[in-house]
Amino acid sequence: MLQVQDVTVRAGSATLVDSASFTAESGTLTAILGPNGAGKSTLLRAVAGIERPASGTVSYDDADLLAMPRRGRARLLALVEQESATELPLTVRSVVGLGRTPHESFLGGRDPDADAAIDAALQTAGVAGFADRIVTELSGGERQRVMLARALAQRPRLLVLDEPTNHLDVAAQLDVLDLLVSLAREGTTVLAALHDLTLAAAHADAVVVLSRGRVVASGATAATLTPELVRDVFGVEAQWLDNPLTGRPLLAVRRLSG
C-alpha cells in the first residue's frame, strides 16, 4: 500500500503541492485528477522521488520511499514521464533494456533476469512486434508504449504514470487503460495522472482530486466524483450513468449552462 502524508512541494516562493495526503491500495489503479496546473505532475514526481518535497512522507508498505537509496527505489517504483524523447537511434529492445539499469551492478554486465524481464515487458506492452525497430521512427503512441514497456522491465511493484494517454488516439487510450487495470489486478499498485475525467472514471478504482495544489477529495471513484465535486473543481456538469456498450459506470459531462 502506498501512503502519501502531508507532502508539500515548493518552488521558490510558490507552493505547488500543499499538504497532500492519500493512500493507494496494492492491486488498484488510482487516478490523480485535476485541472491544468493543479499540481498532478508535481505530486507524481514527488511520489517517485524525482522532486524533493519540502515536507511530508511517502511510504510503500511502511518503507520510506524518500529515504531509500536511489537504486533500491528504482527497483520498486517505475515512472513513465509525460514527454520523453531522444535523438539517439536506439532500438526498442535496447530502450526497454534500460529498465534493467537499477538491477545491474555498476561494473557488471546484464543481470540474469534481463532477457526474461525484457521479453515479458515487450509482450505486455504490446510492442514485441517491433522490438528491433528504431524508436525515433515510431509514432507517438508506439513510443509511449515503448516507454511503458521500459517501466515494466523494471519489474516495479509501484507504477507511476504522468498523463500516459496524452498522444494517443481513442483506441490506444482504451488499450493503455485496460493494460493498467490488468497490471493492477496482477498486484501492481498503479498511480496515473489523467486529464480525461471520463476515461479515468471508467477505469480507475480510486481517484485523488487535486485543485490548486490541494487534495480536495480522494477515495473510491464513484463515491468521490460526485456531480457537486466535479462542478466545483472542473467547472462542468456531470452525471453518472451506465455505459450501454460495457454495462459499466460512465461519467457523462457537459458544459455548465446558464
User: Cβ–Cβ contacts within 10 Å for residue 75, how many?
Assistant: 16
- Pick between residue 72 and residue 235 the one whose CB is nearest to another protein: 72
- Pick between residue 77 and residue 168 the one whose CB is nearest to another protein: 77
Query: What is the full DSSP assignment across the chain?
Result: -EEEEEEEEEETTEEEEEEEEEEE-TT-EEEEE-STTSSHHHHHHHHTTSS--SEEEEEETTEETTTS-HHHHHHHEEEE-S-----S--BHHHHHHHTTGGGS-SSS---TTHHHHHHHHHHHHT-GGGTTSBGGGS-HHHHHHHHHHHHHHT--SEEEEESTTTT--HHHHHHHHHHHHHHHHTT-EEEEE-S-HHHHHHH-SEEEEEETTEEEEEEEHHHH--HHHHHHHHSEEEEEEE-TTTSSEEEEEEEPP-
What minimum distance in Å lies between the beta carbon of 106 and another protein?
Answer: 8
What minimum distance in Å lies between the beta carbon of 233 and another protein?
Answer: 27
What minimum distance in Å lies between the beta carbon of 258 and another protein?
Answer: 43
- Pick between residue 70 and residue 255 the one whose CB is nearest to another protein: 70
Residues near another protein, by CB under 8 A = 45, 48-50, 70-75, 77-79, 81, 84-91, 94-95, 98-99, 101-102, 104, 106-107, 147, 154
Specify the amino acid at residue 185. Answer: R
Contact yes or no for 236/230 (Cβ under 8 A): yes
- Pick between residue 70 and residue 254 the one whose CB is nearest to another protein: 70
Q: Which strand ranges, in their side-by-side order, compose the sheet holding 2-11? A: 14-24, 2-11, 55-60, 63-64
What minimum distance in Å lies between the beta carbon of 247 and another protein?
Answer: 37
What minimum distance in Å lies between the beta carbon of 53 and another protein?
Answer: 15
Contact yes or no for 78/133 (Cβ under 8 A): no
- Pick between residue 13 and residue 257 the one whose CB is nearest to another protein: 13
- Pick between residue 105 and residue 257 the one whose CB is nearest to another protein: 105
What minimum distance in Å lies between the beta carbon of 49 and another protein?
Answer: 8
- Pick between residue 146 and residue 230 the one whose CB is nearest to another protein: 146
What minimum distance in Å lies between the beta carbon of 5 and another protein?
Answer: 22
